[in-house]
Amino acid sequence: MKAAAAGLLVLAIAGAARAQEPGFARSEEREPCAHHDPLRQPFFGDTHVHTAFSFDAWGQGTLAGPRDAYRYARGEAIGIQPYDREGRAGGSVRLRRPLDYAVVTDHSDLMGETRICGSEALAGHDSLVCRVVRRFPKLGYMLVNGHVYSSEAPKRYSFCGPQGARCRDAARGPWQETRDAAEAFYDRSAACRFTTFVGYEWTGMPGGYNVHRNVIFRNAVVQERPTSYIETPSQEGLWSALQRECLDAGSGCDAIAIPHNSNVSGGRMFTTTRPDGAPITAQDARTRARLETLVEVTQHKGDSECRPSAEDPLCDYEKLRYPRMMEMLTTRTAPEALPPRIYAREVLTEGLAQERRLGANPFQFGLIGASDTHFAAPGMVDEDEYVGHAAGTVDARFGVPPFPDRMDFNPGGLGVLWAEENSRDALFAAMRRREAYGTSGPRMRVRFFGGWDYPEGLCEEPDFVARGYAGGVPMGGQLPPGAADGAPRLAVWALRDPGGSGVPSTPLQRVQIVKGWLEDGEGRERVYEVAGDPANGADVDLASCTPRGSGFAELCRVWSDPDFDPAAPAFYYARVVENPSCRWNAWVCNAQGVDCSDPGAVPRELRACCDPEAPRTIQERAWTSPIWYTPPDSQA
């Protein structure tokens, strides 16, 4: 795709696009951004970041707080464990390419307990729980998960006092510091270099099944205190609290909630029944769709795009083989069958069925990536510099081990938002309208439009983007009514991550369009190859991690669905795939000089390097938010 040309035609089309696709309204006082593009720009960031305010991160030895996280996101070095008795860091990390935005999302649950256990002056510091976590972090992690996060009836520890008041009171300080850090590092000048949001993670895990949500606020008007799983142990309770205390409070507060790790939710995250077992109602569907406009498709603890299958081999990417989050602490034996509705693609299809039944789609969400770092290091997703994320069962409290993470975990990804400028209101509007996509780490640029009349030669036009907006909808949108005898035309464009600042750059291999639809009331899915060459023969020199073979710097295609049924509701999203490159463990093992030809000489902590079942290469990728089609007789 050529750069958008200046001229009256482009301006006219851009004006039509802005009239059709609303931008954003200002909800805060700030200088206007000097760089404002009505055709929108991609902003790369991380919406899932834990610091020392999270119980599990602190238990792993993390001392960096929200201010450190934002310094790291802007490209400054921060310290990591091990720390000496004076709190001086023994290691450091630095992001080679700064982010455009970041959100600290510490666990709302146990925020006060974390402050008490880490502060000698506070009552409860010498409790048994705090002493265990400080001395035996892995044991403490398991105890806390079982007592709070994984409990069907979570409760506070006795050192919190009557009704848990002592711990709830202790949480006020960290919550205020989180808000203050977001304000201090938000660039309100015309330069608009960096944007922060206030956020937190609601960490529900009933029975060990993950139903976590990251709550992100639009501006500085937020809840007085974050909603906790301990006091509000259901997703419906979280939605009610956000509506009551934020969206419907009349205070200017606005928020969304982003589910993550549905891959280990056991089907509890995307439910189609109410807590009493009755089917959800149309109002339930609208409530959910209002709050949950995005879902994490990938992060540190695995990929949640699609169920592994022979029909789509790329679905085998970064999969965990167990259905419960807590299984990572017990067994890694794969069950005979993973439960339904744990992957985004099948849930999107379920949304079509629910919309046909209710007239409202509870699962009309876009896709985004994130890291879930517990090092206070947003955007630490480069495979060649990965040092783990200080989360889960690998103990980082006393320093990063030679093999820094579980083999089945990964560095996570990034979220990309198409917005007019880098400000809170503009980025939040992108999240709300789902004009977003996730990547597994690389910073490839991807556009995806849907309409009915795009010309086949649109990719060659200098005003591709302007015509994309004017003739249809971007990713995250609903196709407008079309001709009765025509199929939708989808325009997808992808640009390779240019690399730089020492970051590798890998060519693109292909672009696919994934379709989900209803047929005779049943969900169906199909993957179409639309650009590039899946059989290009590209591979990797594992000894040096140098990619080999041909690829593409840019791919673009206008594609029409050859199997379109105007009576069948459907969605489409694009998947952009790079050539193979080295996975993080290959980089680690090469850097450690591991020689698997002599197993006896390999240190115990590096034996995973010689596991013949472990993947050493990956194909990094991006997933766009879907575009939906609804038959005319089903539209309200």
Q: Please report the pLDDT score of residue 144 as a whole number.
A: 75
Residue 169 domain flag: yes
Q: Tally helices (H) and strands (E) across the chain.
A: 14, 25
* Domain residue limits at 478: 443-451+468-634
Q: Is 518 helix (H, G, I), strand (E, B) or coil?
A: strand
- What pLDDT digit, counting tens, does each position of 111-131 carry? 999 999 999 999 999 999 899
Q: Is 622 found in the same domain as 509?
A: yes
Q: Is 432 found in the same domain as 447?
A: no
Residue range 45-74: mean pLDDT, rounded: 96
Q: Please tell me the distance from the alpha carbon of residue 512 to that of residue 514, in angstroms, as a whole number.
A: 6
Q: Please report the pLDDT score of residue 143 as a whole number.
A: 75
Q: Please report the pLDDT score of residue 23 as a whole number.
A: 77
Show the 3-state SS of 354-383.
HHHHHCCCCCCCEEEECCCECCCCCCCCCH
Number of structural domains the chain divides into: 2
0.85 exceeded by pTM:
yes
Q: Is 477 found in the same domain as 424?
A: no
Q: Please report the pLDDT score of residue 331 as a whole number.
A: 54
Q: Is 482 found in the same domain as 401?
A: no
String of DSSP letters for 117-154: HT-TTSTTTTSHHHHHHHH-HHHHHHHHIIIIIT-SS-
Residue 25 domain flag: no
Q: Is 325 found in the same domain as 304?
A: yes
Q: Is 268 found in the same domain as 246?
A: yes
Q: Please tell me the distance from the alpha carbon of residue 532 to that of residue 249, in angstroms, as a whole number.
A: 50
Where is the domain boundary, 385, 419, 439? 439
Residue 484 domain flag: yes
Q: Is 196 found in the same domain as 90?
A: yes
Q: How confident is the model at residue 329 (pLDDT cuts 50, 70, 90)?
A: low
Residue 13 domain flag: no
Q: Which amino acid is at 296?
A: E
Q: Is 581 found in the same domain as 477?
A: yes
Q: Is 241 found in the same domain as 128?
A: yes
Q: Is 138 found in the same domain as 111?
A: yes
Q: Is 447 found in the same domain as 422?
A: no
- What pLDDT digit, counting tens, does each position of 416-425 carry? 999 999 999 9
Q: Is 326 found in the same domain as 410?
A: yes
Q: Which of 89-98, 151-160, 169-178, 522-531 has the lowest mean pLDDT?
A: 151-160
* CATH number for the domain that contains residue 87: 3.20.20.140
